[in-house]
Amino acid sequence: MALTGGNPDRAQVVLHAFGCAACHAIAGVPGAEGRQGPLLERVARRSWVGGVLPNSPDSLVRFIVDPPRFVPGSAMPRTGIDEAQARDVAAFLLLH
């Protein structure tokens, strides 16, 4: 929570509400078994976010809010997640 300003306990609702769980398999999220996007586990150990941003809590939040800004033509759309919700999701992903 200190790194992102988000609450990981709120993330699962956001991940389902905005369709993340439909495209990604997400560690720790029941029913999140999508295969279109990358597996979302051990995100904190990765070097890059979306293959283009150095991995940091702020980069992860910015990418979650607006993936096409950083990867034009990305299959991951802008979902409508706002910054506060993205901070919750980032907090969750960095823990799992």
49-71: per-residue pLDDT in tens? Answer: 999 999 999 999 999 999 999 99
Long-range contacts from 45-53, C-beta under 8 angstroms, 24+ separation: 50/74, 50/76
Name the token pair of 46.
């990765």
Specify the CATH superfamily of domain 8-95.
Answer: Cytochrome c-like domain (1.10.760.10)
| Rg for the chain, CA atoms, rounded | 12
Q: Where are the domains of the chain?
A: 8-95
pLDDT at 2: 72
* pTM for the structure as a whole: 0.93
Q: Rounded to an integer, what distance in angstroms lies between the CA atom of residue 42 and that of residue 59?
A: 16
